[in-house]
Amino acid sequence: MVYVTRKAHFAAAHRLFNPSWSMAENDRVFGKCNNLNGHGHNYNIEVTVAGAPPPETGMVIDLKVLAEIVDRELIELVDHKHLNIDVPFLQGIIPTAENMAMAFWKVLAPRIPYGRLYSIKLYESENNLVEYRGE
Amino acid sequence: MVYVTRKAHFAAAHRLFNPSWSMAENDRVFGKCNNLNGHGHNYNIEVTVAGAPPPETGMVIDLKVLAEIVDRELIELVDHKHLNIDVPFLQGIIPTAENMAMAFWKVLAPRIPYGRLYSIKLYESENNLVEYRGE
Amino acid sequence: MVYVTRKAHFAAAHRLFNPSWSMAENDRVFGKCNNLNGHGHNYNIEVTVAGAPPPETGMVIDLKVLAEIVDRELIELVDHKHLNIDVPFLQGIIPTAENMAMAFWKVLAPRIPYGRLYSIKLYESENNLVEYRGE
Amino acid sequence: MVYVTRKAHFAAAHRLFNPSWSMAENDRVFGKCNNLNGHGHNYNIEVTVAGAPPPETGMVIDLKVLAEIVDRELIELVDHKHLNIDVPFLQGIIPTAENMAMAFWKVLAPRIPYGRLYSIKLYESENNLVEYRGE
Amino acid sequence: MVYVTRKAHFAAAHRLFNPSWSMAENDRVFGKCNNLNGHGHNYNIEVTVAGAPPPETGMVIDLKVLAEIVDRELIELVDHKHLNIDVPFLQGIIPTAENMAMAFWKVLAPRIPYGRLYSIKLYESENNLVEYRGE
Amino acid sequence: MVYVTRKAHFAAAHRLFNPSWSMAENDRVFGKCNNLNGHGHNYNIEVTVAGAPPPETGMVIDLKVLAEIVDRELIELVDHKHLNIDVPFLQGIIPTAENMAMAFWKVLAPRIPYGRLYSIKLYESENNLVEYRGE
């Protein structure tokens, strides 16, 4: 079993708020992340696939192939977007890093052709990150 | 002469477009940076002050003092904001990294109490950065 | 289950030596880390909390709250200190990265209000790091 | 149980190809990694050892000792080499990051004097990495 | 005047040797960089263009355009290549970082459509870099 | 003219205080950097040499040679030391980053055998750095 990881990057705007709460309650919980006009991040994502490399290629999954899947199926949908407004598969959830990582898992897990998706790490900033392993 | 640099960070949304142009012209020039609902970045900024350190302190400017000035006079105004809407001193300019660096210079240059502002570097992403030296 | 991580930083002096050993034995085991007057590091720490994010907030624990806990309960006690002399909860242990990570766990584990402490990673330098998971 | 990690670095050339395949098949599978004259990387490696630190030293394994083992037993053999030609223990395998991590494990695992080898992470580039844990 | 920088990356093999010298002399001067079968690096390059941003775009040069020029005119020619063998514009020079930076300048300077090329920084490894400013 | 840079690292303890001042005055100016028992940092240093690479080597100065000079003449004297106590050439100056960079210049400038010393950059932490160019 080897774990192979591809890193990717996207830039997006978002706003954290719960539409069923008052503005005051949203401010109390989400603070400046509740800024009405949104704010943004350069997100870094690490997608890890686990598997056994077959001897004839020595690769769990070709990292170029994994990069293309991540770009086409995920990055294209979220890069240079407003996550609350422009991304269909994020509608109805609060775009915290936790919720985003779980939503990204649902998008990517069925599209990994070799091995199996093991982990998604999402960095919202240099000091804040989350990891979801499908558990 | 010694050059002292303080790095700081902020997260913001922005949209690149020229309001005197058509949507098609904006799309041609700014591409996905013209996304209607904006996108965002984790910006990194490096503020460099030049001066001669006096022997009794050995400091051009105390980096804690410089950090406080940068935070209070600049970061507080732009962090977790939409740069096109929420930041008074950026009104009327297209928030490219170049224009932002020049606007940040105007904000910070008169507020440096020791030495003189020498350079502002602004990283919009890991691979894209600009520098302005007041020239 | 999602794992959320907050990074923090502190600068401290320390000296590695076992007071029950001779100076020669300390030099043999700890080498230049046994320098009599101490040396120092910029330590980086990653605190990971595991839990399930409730739907109404989408957060295992608000990373701002986690950052405040880490700063108040830990960083304030060790930043700009001599770890052998100035830090009560480290008295009587050799401040290796391994021992520090285990001591930090004891400080932080009972103070995490949501989820449970999962891991403490401590970087003593760019090339040397340890992790403790409470096992 | 504490996990201690030492990072190390080496620069090497390699070429990905399966000698039992045609050039066309190699190009299809390995693309530009199959360049006849090779290409190269700055590889970063993280070697993690797991163990319980004895109280008299507070160290699972002295990180200086681990660094010396990694340098002498591994880095000396691969640094500034062509991995397909110059490295005896890599002969007969395709030098993908997966295969290299597993081969490095075989070299290092029996040479760790304290604790046990837990993980080898190998970064082929900033965005591509693999991990092997001996499973 | 604003300085805008685009970073790019490539992986290549090379060998340092002077064909007019003996093998012994090459070994004395270039050491392990003279390994017969070559070695390799992940090179990072920073291309800086200087100019005044026109008000209607706020950009010295669109960083997407600069990225495309750097990729098409330079990276395509050197990525996943052996620099001594596969790159026509490097023939006849020893591929040290210094010589490469000066050769890259000649390739890129006439192809910058806005502003003027100000600097090329080339990182051969994390600790070794060179800069050429056309002086 | 090409600028070549070598990065190096050391870990040291220090304390900022002016012995001709009262403890209260030192606390007012240097804050927690005046901690009686010292604190410490992982310092990163970048040493830049400027020169023209001769065609037969293509190197301003062999970066391995520069690395050896920096290690032997500077790093050996400051690594794992208390800068206020253990380093003869720093006696009598307050070990701020500014003063250290100027003192390092005096040590290194006469020892560079090819080209001339152009710049010393000293990072005290990830966010705080100084540069001295001998002006």
Q: Is C1 helix (H, G, I), strand (E, B) or coil?
A: coil
Contact residues, chain C, for F37 at CB < 8 Å: 13, 38, 81-82, 85-86
Which residue in E has a C-alpha nearest to residue F3's C-alpha?
E131
Residue D5 tokens read as 């990690």
Among candidate residues C33, C41, C76, C98, the one labeled active-site is C33
Residue of B nearest to E6 (CA): B128
Is E40 an interface residue toward D (CB < 8 Å)?
yes
CA A63 to each of CA D31, D33, E118: distance values in angstroms, whole numbers, following the listed order: 12, 11, 35
Rounded Cα distance, A41 and B12, in Å: 7
Q: How far apart are alpha carbons F97 and F128 in whole angstroms?
A: 9
The answer to whether A128 contacts C59, with C-beta atoms less than 8 Å apart, is no
C-alpha to C-alpha distance for F74 and B28, rounded to whole angstroms: 54
Contact status of D98 with chain A (Cβ, < 8 Å): yes
Chain A residues close to C123, C-beta within 8 Å:
none
**What residues contact residue C52 under an 8 Å CB cut-off, 6+ apart?**
C1, C2, C60, C115
- pLDDT, position A53: 97
Residues 6 or more apart whose CB falls under 8 angstroms from that of A34 comprise A15, A16, A17, A23, A26, A27
Q: Which of F48, F56, F63 should be substituted to probe chain E, the one whose Cβ sees the most E Cβ atoms within 10 Å?
A: F63
CA F36 to chain centre: 23
> What's the pLDDT tens digit per position in D103-124?
999 999 999 999 999 999 999 9
Average pLDDT (A23-35) is 96
Kindly tell me whether chain A and chain D come into contact, counting contact as 3+ Cβ pairs under 8 Å. Answer: yes
CB contact under 8 A, A7 and D101: no
Tokens 């009405």 found at: A36
Q: How confident is the model at residue A82 (pLDDT cuts 50, 70, 90)?
A: very high
Q: Do chains A and B touch (3 or more CB pairs under 8 A)?
A: yes
A86-93: long-range contacts, CB 8 A cutoff, minimum separation 24: A86/B35, A86/B37, A93/C58
Give Cα F127 distance to the centre of its chain: 16
C-alpha–C-alpha distance, residues D109 and A133, integer Å:
28
pLDDT tens digits for range D38-75: 999 999 999 999 999 999 999 999 999 999 999 999 99
How many angstroms separate the CA atoms of A22 and A27, rounded?
Answer: 9
Rg (C-alpha) for chain F, rounded Å, is 16
Instruction: Kindly report the number of other CB atoms within 10 A of residue B54's CB atom.
Output: 10
Q: What percentage of chain F exceeds 70 in pLDDT?
A: 100
Nearest CA in chain E to D15: E80
List of chain C residues whose C-beta atoms are within 8 Å of the C-beta of residue D4: 97-98, 128-130
Residue C57 CA to residue A34 CA, distance in Å, equals 12
Tell me how far apart the alpha carbons of residues B126 and B94 are, in angstroms, rounded to a whole number.
Answer: 21
Q: Is there a contact between B3 and F131 (Cβ–Cβ < 8 Å)? A: yes
- Which single residue is written with the structure tokens 């170049």? B98
Instruction: Output phi, psi for C17, to 5 deg.
Output: -160, 155
Which value, to the nearest 10 degrees, does the dihedral of the CA atoms of residues E54, E59, E64, E70 take? 80
Tally C-beta pairs within 8 A across D and E: 81
Q: Least CA distance to E61: which residue of chain B?
A: B98
Report yes or no: D8 at the C interface, CB cutoff 8 Å: yes
Q: Is C97 on the interface with A (CB under 8 A)?
A: no
* Per-residue pLDDT reduced to its tens digit, E27-72: 999 999 999 999 999 999 999 999 999 999 999 999 999 999 999 9
How many Å apart are CA D16 and CA D84, to the nearest integer? 9
CA–CA dist D122, F77 (Å, integer): 33
- Closest CB from F98, F126, F131 relative to B58: F98
B23-58: pLDDT as tens digits: 999 999 999 999 999 999 999 999 999 999 999 999
Pairing of strands D81-82, D39-51: unpaired
In contact, C27 and C61? CB cutoff 8 Å = no
Closest chain E C-alpha to F30 CA, distance in angstroms = 32
Q: Which of C36, C10, C26, C21 is nearest to C97 (CA)?
A: C10
pTM over 0.95: yes
- pLDDT (tens digit per residue) in A87-130: 999 999 999 999 999 999 999 999 999 999 999 999 999 999 99
- Within the 74-93 window of chain F, which residues sit less than 8 Å (CB to CB) from chain B? 93
Chain E residue numbers touching D7 (CB-CB < 8 A):
none
B53–F contact, CB cutoff 8 A: yes
Per-residue CA distances from C73 to A96, C69, C113, F80 (Å): 25, 6, 13, 28
- Pairwise CA distance, residues E110 & A10, whole Å: 32
d(CA F34, CA F32): 5
pLDDT in tens, E91-129: 999 999 999 999 999 999 999 999 999 999 999 999 999
Average pLDDT over residues B54-65: 96
* C56 CA: distance to closest CA in chain D (Å): 34
- DSSP symbols for F45-104: EEEEEEE---TTT--SS-HHHHHHHHIIIIIHHHTTEETTTS-GGGTTS---HHHHHHHH
Query: How far B125 CA sits from the closest chain A CA (Å)?
Result: 7
Which residues of B fall within a CB distance of 8 Å from E8? 127
Q: Single out the residue of F117, F133, F122, F100 nearest to residue F44, CA to CA.
A: F122
Q: How far is D54 from chain E (nearest CA, A)?
A: 35
Q: Identify the residue among D59, D121, D123 best suited for mutation to test binding to C, counting C beta carbons within 10 A and taking the highest.
A: D59
Residues facing residue C132 across a β-bridge: C120, D2
Q: Which residues of A touch C60 (CB under 8 A)?
A: 98, 130
Cα(A69)–Cα(B3) distance, integer angstroms: 45
Return d(Cα D71, Cα D92) in angstroms, integer: 23
| Sequence-separated (6 or more) residues with CB below 8 Å from residue F32 | C79, C80, F39
Q: How far apart, in whole angstroms, are the C-alpha atoms of residue C133 and residue C115?
A: 14
Helix (H) or strand (E) holding A3: strand A2-14
- Inspect the interface and report whether the beta carbons of F57 and E94 lie closer than 8 Å: yes
CB contact at 8 A, C13 and C38: yes
The pLDDT value given to residue F63: 96
Domains along chain A with CATH numbers: 2-12+38-132 (3.30.479.10)
Three-class SS state of E92: coil
C-alpha closest to that of C121 among C61, C49, C47, C57:
C47
Q: What is the mean pLDDT of chain E?
A: 97
**Which residues of A does the annotation mark as catalytic?**
33, 80, 124
Per-chain mean pLDDT for chain B: 97
CA distances from E47 to A93, C63, D48, D117, E70 (A): 41, 36, 37, 42, 8
Chains that touch F (3 or more CB pairs under 8 A): B, C, E
Q: In whole angstroms, give the CA distance from residue A83 to residue A95.
A: 7
Question: Both tokens of residue E15?
Answer: 């060998």
Per-residue pLDDT of chain C (135 residues; tens, 9 = 90+): 999 999 999 999 999 999 999 999 999 999 999 999 999 999 999 999 999 999 999 999 999 999 999 999 999 999 999 999 999 999 999 999 999 999 999 999 999 999 999 999 999 999 999 999 999
* Best to test chain B binding among E59, E61, E68, E119 (most B CBs inside 10 Å): E59
Per-residue pLDDT, C55: 93
Q: Best interface-test mutation with E: which of B17, B32, B127 has the largest number of E CBs within 10 A?
A: B127
Q: Where are the beta strands (DSSP E) in A15-114?
A: 39-51, 81-82
The mean pLDDT value for D71-86 works out to 98
Helix residue spans in A8-55 (DSSP H): 23-30
User: Cβ B29–E4 below 8 Å, yes or no?
Assistant: no
CA distance A17 to A22: 9
Distance from CA of F52 to the nearest CA of C (A): 33
Whether residue B128 lies within 8 A of chain E, CB to CB, comes out as yes
Report the alpha-carbon distance of residue F38 to residue F36 in Å, rounded. 6
Sequence-distant (≥ 6) Cβ neighbours of residue A130 within 8 angstroms: A97, A98, A101, A121, A122, A124, C2, C3, C4, C5, C60
Contact assignment for E2 to B127 by CB distance below 8 Å:
no
Of B129, B115, B134, B125, which Cα lies nearest the Cα of B5?
B115
Q: Which two tokens stand for residue D70?
A: 């990694």
Interchain proximity B98–E1, CB inside 8 Å: no
Burial pattern F38-54, b for ≥16 Cβ within 10 A else e, equals: bbbbbbbbbbbbbbebe
Distance from CA of B85 to the nearest CA of F (A): 29
Which residue of chain B comes nearest to E59, CA vs CA? B98
Q: C124, C126, C131, C135: which one is catalytic?
A: C124
- Identify the active-site residue in B9, B39, B68, B80: B80
pLDDT of residue D108: 98
Nearest CA distance, D21 vs chain A (angstrom): 9
Q: What is the residue-wise DSSP string for E6-67?
A: EEEEEEEEE----TTS-HHHHHHHHGGGG-TT-EEEEEEEEEEEEE---TTT--SS-HHHHH
Which whole-number Å values give the CA distances from F19 to A97, C29, E12, F15, in the listed order? 50, 36, 54, 11
Tell me whether C116 touches chain A (CB under 8 Å). no
Identity of the residue numbered E106 = K
Selection from E31, E78, E22 nearest residue D37 by Cα: E78
* Cα dihedral F43, F46, F47, F50 in deg (nearest 10): -170
Between CA B112 and CA B128 the distance in angstroms is: 27
Mutation target to probe the B interface, by most B beta carbons within 10 A, among E7, E9, E57, E62 is E57
Residues paired with residue A45 on neighbouring β-strands, in sequence order: A8, A122
Q: What is the pLDDT of residues E82-96, one digit of tens each?
A: 999 999 999 999 999
Per-residue pLDDT tens digits for F32-72 = 999 999 999 999 999 999 999 999 999 999 999 999 999 99
Residues of chain D contacting residue A4, judged by C-beta atoms under 8 Å apart: 97-98, 128-130
Give me the helices (H) in chain B, please.
Answer: 23-30, 63-70, 76-78, 97-108
At residue D104, φ and ψ (nearest 5 deg) are -65, -40
Taking the CA of residue D52 and the nearest CA in chain C, the distance in Å comes to 9
| SS3 category, E118 | strand
